[in-house]
Structure 1
Amino acid sequence: MTSPPPVGAYAVDTSTGRVGRVLDLMGPHVRLAPVGCGREWACAPDDLRIATPAERLSAATAYANARSRGEVP
Structure 2
Amino acid sequence: MVDIGHDNRVGEFRGRTGPYWSLRPMRGGTEWDAEPEHVRPADPIERLRAENARCNARSRGEFL
Unaligned runs of at least 5 residues, structure 2:
none
Does 1:13 pair with 2:3?
yes
Does 1:58 pair with 2:49?
yes
* Identity over aligned pairs, percent: 44
Per-residue deviation, 1:66: 3.7
1:27 to 13, 18, 30: 18
2:10–2:50 CA contact under 8 A, matched in 1 = yes
CA distance, structure 1, for counterparts of residue 9 and residue 35 of structure 2: 13
What is the RMSD computed on CA atoms of the aligned residues? 1.5
Unaligned runs of at least 5 residues, structure 1:
1-10
Q: What TM-score do you get using the length of structure 1 for normalisation?
A: 0.70
For each residue in 1:2-56, what CA deviation from the matched residue of structure 2 results, as whole angstroms up to 9, or x when unmatched? xxxxxxxxx1000221111111111111001111311111110111001112111
1:42-53 equivalences under 5 Å are: 42-53=33-44
CA distance, structure 1, for counterparts of residue 14 and residue 59 of structure 2: 26
